[in-house]
Structure 1
Amino acid sequence: MSSTRSLTRGSARILYGCAIFLAAFLLFAVEPMAAKQLLPALGGSSAVWLTCLVFFQVALLLGYLYAHWLGCARRLPLTRALHLPLLLVAAAISLIGFQPDLASASVHPFLAIFHTLILTIGLPFLLLASTSPLLQLWQAREEGSGVPWKLFALSNAGSLLALVLYPSVIEPYISLSLQRRIWAIGFVVYAVFSAALACRTHASALSEPAAPSASVPSFETPPRSTLRARLLWFLLPAGASMQLCAVTGHLSQNVAAIPLLWVLPLGVYLLTFILAFETPHLYRRWIALRLLAVMLAGLGLMFSKTGVTWPILMIIGFFLLELFIACLFCHAETWALRPADPSESTLFYLLIAAGGAAGTIFIGILCPLLFAANYDVVLSFLATAALALAVAWQSGWGQRLLWGTGTALMFALVIMLHIVYGRSTLVQVRNFYGSLRVRESHWPPQAHTMRTLLNGTIEHGTQWFASDMRRIPTTYYAFDSGVGLALRFCCEGRARTIGVIGLGAGTLAAYGDAGDRMQFYEINPAVLPIARNLFAYIRESPAQISIIPGDARISLASEPPQHFDVLAIDAFSGDAIPLHLLTVQAMQVYRRHLAPGGILAFHVSNRYLDLPPEVEKLAEASGMQARVIDTHTDDARGEYRATWVLVTNNTAFLARPQIADVAFLIPDKPGLRAWTDDASSLLPIFQWHLPTTQ
């Protein structure tokens, strides 16, 4: 008898539990790890994580489909012949290591992400995803009992632990390269566990071919699930995944595309799975529906106050609470409809995974293609209200009226946002990098006509078209701003060579004079026609202007030295920051392109992150000096509060009275270290309150 067959039932149960827990931990540890490696190739866009979520959900669906196919009784003899070689190949892939293919970013970002993830973690991820349903079915067949549903909660507990540890322990203290090595070792251990159980199941299938496995005793045939139940197995998880994707996108687009704001919503999502499947007796539908109605009203209030800035803790807290209530409702109602027949268990998981994939595909892929504006959060609420109506339909006319009204109101909110976004809007476009629109108004009067470029709700530049204001830089780029001072006093009396990472409305072109050479780098292809056709900064500048498409760091790394007198780094999307532009390796690229005495100007205005101390660390690591310049709001000239950090070795420039009087040393922040491509964390610089508006 083989060693795997000699395992006692108790030992086998422990092995099943360890394999499922480890698989879940590895599955959700590799998600933020792989996505973080892709950010540099795609400009640090928050859409990277949303697209990764689509890949992970589709891979999860394929894993469940594989488990469903392999779990059929007539295919049990294939377990060792098929599953073991796949485990061996996947272990070899994990040991070789996965590195993102930066060159693939030249194609559509969605295809680049899928192509890279398939080649690097595709097979290991698929096998990890198949583990929970497959091993639960193997154990049920071996023991001749019902489905061990508690193992599903154990799987989610492993996933949740990985998500808790990643931003708090793994990311701050372990480099990406070491993370990959540790993960590969963990996968090899998992493969050994899984191989032992596969051999045990294979041997059991050969020795007991006639056993009525995966079924209850023949005298009690469990009922089959209804069509309505199977449909809700798909629709309820789809609604939950829509909520997950929309909330994650909203937070990461307006704060930062970082693992911390990826794993918080995903952790909440998984926590609701654990509660729904492990402690279903705690769930009360009537409480969940009432709380859900309150959150719908709160969302309507928040989105109706489009001009209000909310504190970060309030934003994160509201959306995480809403996500928890909505997902708990969806997952608990799914659990209540679980199949009684163990043979339907893999189909149950398969439809849950299919719903999850469908929800993320709709929000992450289809919405940017179907809608010119971002309605993701409101559409996810609309879907949740409709699901509440479907679930509560049998509870009587009171619930039908409540959720019929709620669904109608959410639909009305979508229409209202469409009207608001279209009001005074010249153009509106959405792609992988965000939702852009240009708004025109005639206020203030001295502007005559004002046009504003918005990325979501964040302004990315304005222009006043009054004859005496057309070439006056506004918003964050005023004459007394850090970048304004750098451009005015860097090299008086001669032509300048200027580089700008991030085009926006092209405001910095207002500083260009005859003989100057200005080179803009812009990753979003939708920005260039807007800047050229709807704003006059670029087309009316006397400077020689060129615009380089694609990610700035990748473009700069492939170019010969440009000898920039000033290189402005202003590529932030909303309040999110592309971390790959703020690392020691990025500084090395920038320095290669600076002329002697050149200046790096970092735009670090941010509601939630205290970036100047980190830029000072980067300057120190690069052997340069850093000074911070803060300017205040001036409504009469359309100038906004702005923070710029100037980094240079040009002591004569820093000593000029115009600079020395307004540029200050940056206070040291204890425990902070210079970011690298291999190690970075935003936790030390988070500001958990709104800065005072000045």
Structure 2
Amino acid sequence: MQALARRAAAPIFALALFSSAALIFVLQPLFGRMVTPLLGGSPAVWNTSMAFFQAALLVGYLYAHLLARVRDLRVQAVVHAIVLLAAWLVLPVHVTNALGAPSSEHPALWLVGVLALSVGAPFAAASATAPLLQAWYARTGRADAHDPYYLYAASNLGSFIGLLAYPALIEPLLGAQAQSSAWTAGYLLVAAMVVLCAGMAVSANDGAPAPVKTDAAPDAGAVTWRERLYWMAAAAVPSALSLGVTLHISTDVASAPMLWVIPLALYLATFVIAFARGSEKLIGSTLFIHPFALALLLASYYASGNWTFSVAGILAGFFFSALICHLALAQSRPDASRLTEFYLYVSLGGVLGGAFAALLAPVIFNNVYEYPLALAAACLFRPRAQNDMPRLMDASVAAAVMIAVLFVILNVRTAVIDSVIIVGALGAACSMVAAGWGDERRPAPFRYAFLGAAAVHAAIVIWIAFHLDAIFVRSIVEGSGQLEIQQPWGLVLIGSSMLVLMFVVHGTTQNRREGDSPIADFACGAALPTLLFLIMQVLVGARLTPQLLVTVGILLCAFGVFFNRGRPIVMAAVVLTSFVVIFLEDARGARIITQERSFFGVLRTRVMDDPSDPAVPPLRILLHGTTIHGAQLAAPGLTRLPLTYYHPRTALGEAILAGLSTGDSSNMALIGLGAGSSACLTRPDDRLTIFEIDPAVVRLAAEPGGDFTYVPECQPNARIVLGDARLRIAEEPNGEFDVIVVDAFSSDAIPAHLLTAEAIQTYLDKTSDRGIVVLHLSNRNLALVSEAARVARDIGAFTQYRISDRFEQPYVSYYGGLAASVMIVAKSPEIMSRLALPSGGWRAFEAPEGPGWTDDYINVPRALWEGLSGAENCRIYPWLRECGGEPAAQETPAAPTDPTQQ
């Protein structure tokens, strides 16, 4: 029996670890799917849930660590069986009602309490399986029992498979209740497998307590606090980074399990790779690829308009950053006798990293700064290495700093040419420093030629700076701005810049000899980007935009990341500098008068002025994440003009006005406040009820002293209901509203639970005999028009759909009217026929095949695929050539995914 137990232990233990890990990591998106609708669909629900699950994992690991200290395996098995049985008593998985309705003021605390009462016990009990079974395996007496860490790879592989199975199979095929029942059955199966493993461990030693088998020396198990802190740090950084990445990509698409699990799955994949046998062979290649992945991440973060490219690059950078940390963690693991202690501190590090990103960062930061901080921290786990180009290393750091200086100047002086000339003067001064502090062992003609060229270049740049308007002539040709430099100044500036550039490049590519000062290398690096920007200014002229400058700047920063790959601290500093450039460019051209962060996202109010024309009124723009949520002209007589999506000429403005005009006075419900623009579409006799979940939005747009005055000016008596609109509007009397506008967004992501069959049926129940529901469906990535049409078909509602093009307005350019994709839903065709819709583009939208969304079934992968593949675009514009039709004679309106990202 003993021999059989030892032979069968490996596959049975591996299967049990695989299954238990898959089970607990299916629970995370499953419960997130259940609780997200109660908190407005905020992406922060997942991050807070992850922080809780990491804490529950720590509890499980602590329990396993203490239980493993019991010498008798039979006692361990009995205790663990009792714990598993006790945790089963809270199943099936459900959201407890013990804490009452969700809290808008303290949503994170409410969510943590609900998680603890609903799934805390079974999750902690199941998570203890991984370290406990490995500790039992170390006592089986097998030849490989001294190194059970490879079973950790099986555990993480199970987590990885479970996470991928959820969006790919479980969520599309099973409703939430069926998922809960299936998880309960899986829990019982895993509990039985754990009991079987306990029996095998006991049988392998004929029932006698067995010590851990180890090949190590007697004192090899000693662990220092420095090692423990290293384990914690190596686990905390990728944990925080995974939450930062998840928040970034889910904010602009949808708060849905499909997007939650991808970063977590990659995070677990790095664990699998790092703790697999032979992983040390991957260290070299990972260290080499990591800088390239970071460079791709920086480019992807900035070029976020292309969602597919952006997410792919961001995930690649995240994967290799996490792998760097986990490989370092795996290489530092102790002897098997300290196995449960190792996992305990790894889990504690994960908790600290997750708590920092999910709970502390939203309190201390007003933007998602924890993301670049975690990326930079991951660089610190690279080993130090020698580089044969030390001059280029120092120069690349100075170049990155000078690029950041350029964008600081751009934020002070908005004209590109002014900033380039100022930075060019700084670079000219740096080139003279480089020439003066150069290697004295070089030939004197070279040193004097460098100094002379730098002095001439400095004189030319200073002369141009004092005669800027005479040398650079601005003009408008056929409606576009032109910038011409008077000759021979253009040729002279290019000549001096090219000459100094050759000296700079030559100096930074030479070998550094002992005793050489690095001052000249830093000065050369600082001069390098300024020379490039001056040459570009002459050659490109007015086409040299801040966007082009930041593109070149990020490229130079990427070189800095690569050249300093052997200096972890410097590499981390260059990564942070790159993000400083991106953040400065994002803030350029406008004053940010408000920026705050809450559980529901980052809110900013930007003010755009035209310094060249004082008559142009300031324009205030509300941004949630990266998406415009309204704008207002801050000038007397213009403050009541709705802009962006809410102008009366947009599809959204038309639908609201048509619904309000069916009676002498109307009662309107607005789900999602934004800047409050819709309030000024109402008449004085109309009534307005606003459902808003974020108290910060109410302070900005509805209360006296806020940044926007639409509501105080047009509907000062508006009733504001704080909380999730889906729950709050259900409390209203049936037939109460004549118009219900569903305009709730979290950045560009519409909470899916507001578009299910039950949700839209609730809205219709609350409408009067002449009432309509107006759905604002503008989105960059999801095929929400098709999903709304499916839901309307399933509940027997009647619809009209239109997408309006973007247009310009005086003072506000294209902010006058943004492209709006809108669907009107009504109980009967008679209600629809009474609407006075001035545009002729309204039509019935035929629902495609497939079941519509319900509270039990939300298929976000389908919506994302149909949005990115162009399937919905062809349903809206079937006459397009790429859709198999012939282009219409009239101009095609803007696509529903027309981005409004700033």
Same fold (TM over 0.5): yes
What amino acid sits opposite 2:368 in the alignment? N
The aligned runs of 1:211-610 (5 Å cut-off) are 211=210, 213-216=211-214, 222=220, 224-225=222-223, 227-281=225-279, 283-302=281-300, 305=302, 309-339=304-334, 341-388=335-382, 391-392=383-384, 402-413=567-578, 415-416=580-581, 421=587, 424-443=591-610, 448-490=617-659, 491-492=661-662, 494-531=664-701, 532=703, 533-542=706-715, 544-561=717-734, 563-610=736-783
* CA positional deviation for 1:257: 0.5
Aligned to 1:679: 857
Question: Aligned partners of 1:204 and 1:315: how far apart in 2?
Answer: 52
- Displacement of 1:647 after TM fit? 0.7
Equivalent residues of 1:141, 1:215 under 8 A apart = yes
On the 8 A contact 1:482/1:601 being kept in 2, the answer is no
Q: Distance in 2 between matches of 1:552 and 1:52?
A: 22
Mapped partners of 1:408, 1:369: distance in 2: 24
User: Which residue, out of 50, 56, 59, partners 1:59?
Assistant: 56
Count, aligned residues:
681
Per the alignment, in what secondary structure is the counterpart of residue 367 of structure 2? Answer: coil
The separation in 2 between residues aligned to 1:386 and 1:431, in whole angstroms, is: 30
1:618 Cα deviation from its structure 2 partner: 1.6
Unpaired segments of 5 or more residues in structure 2? 394-563, 811-815, 871-894
Report the residue type matching 2:602 in the other structure.
S
Letter in 1 for 2:341: L
Aligned-residue offset at 1:264: 0.9
Give the letter aligned to residue 785 of structure 2: P
What's the TM-score once normalised by structure 1's chain length? 0.92
Distance of 2:679 and 2:616 partners within structure 1: 19
1:52-73 CA-to-partner distances (Å, cap 9, x unmatched) read 1101111111111111111114
CA distance in structure 1 between the partners assigned to 2:572 and 2:218 by the alignment? 42
Measured at CA, do residues 93 and 542 of structure 1 come closer, stay the same or move farther in structure 2, by a change above 3 Å? closer
- Bigger relative CO (Cα 8 Å, ≥ 6 apart): 1
- Aligned equivalent of 1:661, options 840, 846, 851: 840
User: For residues 476 and 405 of structure 1, what CA distance do their matches in structure 2 show?
Assistant: 45
CA gap 1:630/1:100 in 2 versus in 1, 3 angstroms: farther
* Structure 1 unmatched runs, 5+: none
Per-residue CA distance 1:525-578 (angstroms, 9 max, x = gap): 111110032111011115741111011111112222362111000011112121
Q: In 2 relative to 1, CA 610–291 (structure 1 residues): closer, same or farther, beyond 3 Å?
A: same
2:221/2:338 contact within 8 Å kept: no
427-436 vs 345-354, which deviates more? 345-354
Partner of 1:98: 94
**What does the per-residue CA deviation read over 1:260-318, in whole Å, with 9 as the maximum and x for residues that have no partner?**
10111111111111111125447443432333222333444455x4xx55222112211
Corresponding residue number in structure 2 for 1:644: 822
Aligned partners of 2:300 and 2:313 also within 8 Å: no
Q: Give the structure 2 partner of residue 149 of structure 1.
A: 149
Evaluate the alpha carbon distance shift between residue 136 and residue 495 of structure 1 in structure 2; reply closer, same or farther with a 3 A threshold: same
Cα deviation 1:394-427 (Å, max 9, x = unaligned): 9998868643332222333455566554961111
Aligned to 1:23: 20
Is contact 2:565–2:571 with CA below 8 Å preserved after alignment?
Answer: no
Question: Do the aligned partners of 1:104 and 1:116 also contact (CA within 8 Å) in 2?
Answer: no
- What CA distance in whole angstroms lies between the structure 2 residues aligned with 1:75 and 1:458? 60
Change (3 A) 1:242 1:116: same
| Cα shift readout 1:412-443 (whole Å, capped 9, x = no counterpart) | 34555665549611111111001111111125
Residues 45 and 652 from structure 1, CA distance in 2 versus in 1: closer, same or farther, beyond 3 angstroms? closer
Secondary structure at 1:8 match in 2: helix
Q: Rg: which structure is higher? A: 2
Describe the SS at the equivalent of 2:47: helix
TM-score, scaled relative to structure 2: 0.71
Structure 1 residue 238: Cα displacement: 1.3
TM-aligned CA distance change 1:75 to 1:562, over 3 Å: farther
Alignment deviations for residues 230-270 of structure 1 (CA, whole Å, 9 cap, x no partner): 33222112111122111111011111101110111111111
CA distance, structure 1, for counterparts of residue 13 and residue 387 of structure 2 = 40
8 Å CA contact 1:41–1:105 kept in 2: the answer is yes
CA distance 1:315–1:283, shift in 2 (3 Å): farther
Q: 1:184 & 1:623 partners in 2: Cα distance?
A: 35
2:67 aligned to 46, 70, 73, which one? 70
Q: What is the CA-CA distance between 1:517 and the residue it aligns to? A: 0.3
Alpha-carbon offset, residue 494 of structure 1: 0.2
1:626 aligns with 2:799: yes
In 2 relative to 1, CA 367–658 (structure 1 residues): closer, same or farther, beyond 3 Å?
same
CA shift at 1:481, angstroms? 2.4
Asked if structure 2 preserves the Cα contact closer than 8 Å seen for 1:564 and 1:595, the reply is yes
* SS of residue paired to 2:806: coil
- Pick which of 140-149 and 159-168 moved more: 140-149
